Every structure is written in structure tokens, then in C-alpha cells.
Structure 1
């Protein structure tokens, strides 16, 4: 397909951040950047790309989507890549035995549009080409996106997945949101604030002997984090829960 660039047409830009976790090939990153710009998405974050960054093969595959690549940000961990975001969706083809809400790309796009219109910082996680996201990455998301395709063959490459989500996002541009999260005088908690609370809670649960089996601790932690993620807490609610945990463990305000 030939280039669709037209300097005489207005650009429609803005939307959720796209986060690629451990992408393997520079060509795949470039193809994702091309898919993003087709849909007006410009903010790309990369978590430990296998072949390093910057990558000349990514530029060639981007077919002119250089602004996306030029603005790409590099991170060491998924948690760092989503730390400043209020709302994170993640793509997966497997349930992995976790209790989380699953939506189609179309539903996800509508909900993302509502959050963006409300001023919330949003993002969508995509996993490595061969394995997808691991459970610890999925716990950073409040909602999982799964694509209803042919059950006998539902394989998508990375750029196809990004384009599919981006396309559904782009189609919501003229549709008023069905719902907007109103948070009063506060705001949705960032992922960094949530992870800080998770670590506070898990530390106190360790001290009080809640985790009786070291082997089961990781799965129990993921269960707790998934349940709390689905609450979509505000910054004020996170601070309140910090106080609740401190009170239940007998610590006074200001104590370590």
C-alpha cells in the first residue's frame, strides 16, 4: 500500500499511550509506530526492547511515522512505564486463571475515550511477540482486552494488535462518551500511587503472618492487586486505604 500522507489534510492526534513490553524486533516497533500514527496515536513507550534502542530497522519499517519513534521513551520495567498513568488496559489472548474484567477492543476504546475526555492519563499494554504479557504485568491493568477472533486461529502479530486497538479508538472520535468518571475534588490514582499502596499492604500482611505459604504468596498477591485494581481508586481513596491499613496493624500516624 502506498503512503497515505497528505499535508493538506488536518491531523487528528492524541489518545492513550501505547506501551510495548519487551518487543523483539526493530521492524515490529516500526510497524507499530506506523499503525499508531494511522490512528492518531503518538505517545510510544518501550520496555526493554530486545534489540536495543534506537533501532535503524524500526525507522525503515515505520514508513514515515518518524514523529512517533522520535518521541518514544525507554523504560527498564513495566511498572515504571505506567507509573504516571491513571488508567491502564492490557491486551491478552489467555485468561491465565486470573479474576479480571475482559472487554472487546470496541468497548475498551469507548471507555478509554471517556477517560481521556475526563482528563485522565491512559495507556494500553502490549506484550512480547512470542509470549504476551506475564501475570505481574497484567496486574498493573484495571481491564484486559481480548479480541474475539476465529477460535481455531486467533494469532495476531504485534502491529496488527496495535492497529486493531488504535482503529477502534479512532472510530470513537465522533461519538460522545457513554460515561465519564467523576472524582469530585480528587483525581484517579496513578499507577505509582497504587503500587506504593500495594507494597504497603503486602508488607504489613507479611509482618502479621497473613501469607502462611511462601509458594502461594505470588498468586495471593496477584489476586489482591487485581481486586483493588478493579476499584479504580482515586488519589484520596488510596490515601484513605493507607490509613486504614496502618490503623489495622496498630501503627500510629507518622510511624514507619
Structure 2
């Protein structure tokens, strides 16, 4: 889905994303893209199989250049973790040991709290084929696992990074219902505008013989007003509707001259 806006300031920071011996440059690039989507920028790569820099990673990153250019390669996992104080290991299967296990929502909130307190944190992601080894999980403080289909629990590393990056971003929102943008502000229509629309429609229907009796007219008008008052029209929307109904009058009464502006629909120039 397209949506890159280079005019806005790029969000950076957050927990380090640590890839342990990734095999494919394309996966590293997709990880960088997922990180950039949700404001993460600290990418650490432990002993990548195909070396670094990697052209396939750059291509797959889809312009997440700041993540790719800032990536740091380490020869060992211990070196990649050396400056961090709290680390999660991601895994899809139970492990021996007594480490606390968290879901992604709780893990995202814990990471946010620790980062806000000045700690340096990270999340470990394993190899495409076999994930993390037990001793590598042992270097982490806690485990994070995803609520996936137990019969098909394997996630691509870019997918796993995307899920945790999303939870990191969500943990910093004022509300879990917050969105990146909202509908534009509109000016609510004054009741006088709405009443003018009622009168115009009723007059047009009367002229066309729509109402068969006074009793039916009263019921039809009540129903019409109930429908038209439900949406809460803006002034522009009222103008669009009045222009629309005015165009019907042209065909019904071609000799009639309409007042100036009645044919306007409110479209942008």
C-alpha cells in the first residue's frame, strides 16, 4: 500500500531489532521496511550469510534507506547485545528454562516503558529456517511469542518484525483506537439550509404529482425528513443536493429560468 510522505519527519529510535544469521538479503530488506513503517531504526545483523551491504536487501527495503544505511553488522550475538539492558527473544515453540513468556501486546508496552525510562532494549529474531537456538534464547531476559495457528506457527522474520514493530508503535499511542489520519473537518449545515432543502424537494414532488392525498403527503414528508436529518449533512453537502434536485427541475420545466447558483453542485474548481 503506497503512502510514503517524504515531507514529514522520519520517526526513529526504539528497541534494537537484532537478526541472527539471516540468510536472504530480501528478508533483511523487508525487515527494514517493516521497521520504518512503525518508527524503528536500530537494525543489528549478526553474521549475515550473504555478507553486507547487500543489494537485494537495499532493493527490498522500498526506500527505508535510513534503516539500511544505519544497520550494524556483528560477528557474534554477544557483541550485538553488549550495550543493551533488556532483551526479548521471539520464538514460536515452547523452550526449556524458566524465562517469563509474554504476548506481543504486553511486550510492546514493557519495551515502551523501559525505553521511556532510558534503558536500551532489543528484540531477537532467529534464522529463516530454524529460528533461534536454545543458547541464544538463553541470552535474552524474556520470551515473546505470537498467538498463531498452532498447526502452522512458522512466521517469516519480516512478518515477525512487522508484528512487534506494530505493537511498539501502538504502545505509544494516546488511544488504541487512534489512526494516522481522520476525516476532514466540515461545517455542519444550519437548520435553515436543511429546511430549504426540504422545501425544494417537497415542491418538486408536489409538482410531479407524487402525493396522492394529504394524508399520504404528511406521512411521506415525515419519512423524507427523517431520512434527510439522519446523516447530519454539512453545508457543502446540502449545496450538492440542492444543485442535484435543481437539475431535475430543468428537465421537468425546460422553460423555467432557475435562480443563479441553483445548478452548482459544490464540486471543486
Other-structure match for 1:119: 118
- Max Rg structure: 2
**Separation of aligned partners in 1, 2:11 and 2:75:** 31
Is 1:5 the equivalent of 2:17?
no
Other-structure match for 1:154: 153
Q: Could you tell me which runs of 5 or more consecutive residues in structure 1 were left unpaired when the two chains were aligned.
A: 177-256
**Separation of aligned partners in 2, 1:99 and 1:141:** 12
Cα deviation, residue 175, structure 1: 4.7
Other-structure match for 1:222: none
Superposition RMSD on alpha carbons, in Å? 1.3
**Separation of aligned partners in 2, 1:17 and 1:106:** 17
Is 1:22 the equivalent of 2:21?
yes
How high is the TM-score relative to the length of structure 1?
Answer: 0.66
**Separation of aligned partners in 1, 2:65 and 2:9:** 18
Alignment of 1:98-109 (within 5 A): 98-109=97-108
Q: Could you tell me which runs of 5 or more consecutive residues in structure 2 were left unpaired when the two chains were aligned.
A: 176-269
SS in 2 for 1:174: coil
Other-structure match for 2:227: none
Cα deviation, residue 140, structure 1: 1.2
Q: State the Cα deviation string for residues 210-248 of structure 1 (Å, max 9, x = none).
A: xxxxxxxxxxxxxxxxxxxxxxxxxxxxxxxxxxxxxxx
Q: Which has the higher mean CA deviation after the structures are superposed, 88-97 or 58-67?
A: 88-97
Aligned length, in residue pairs = 175
Is 1:173 the equivalent of 2:172?
yes
Other-structure match for 2:75: 76
**Separation of aligned partners in 1, 2:119 and 2:113:** 9
Q: State the Cα deviation string for residues 84-113 of structure 1 (Å, max 9, x = none).
A: 101111101112322211100111000000
Higher RCO, Cα 8 Å, sep 6+ = 1
Other-structure match for 2:90: 91
SS in 2 for 1:124: strand
SS in 1 for 2:51: coil
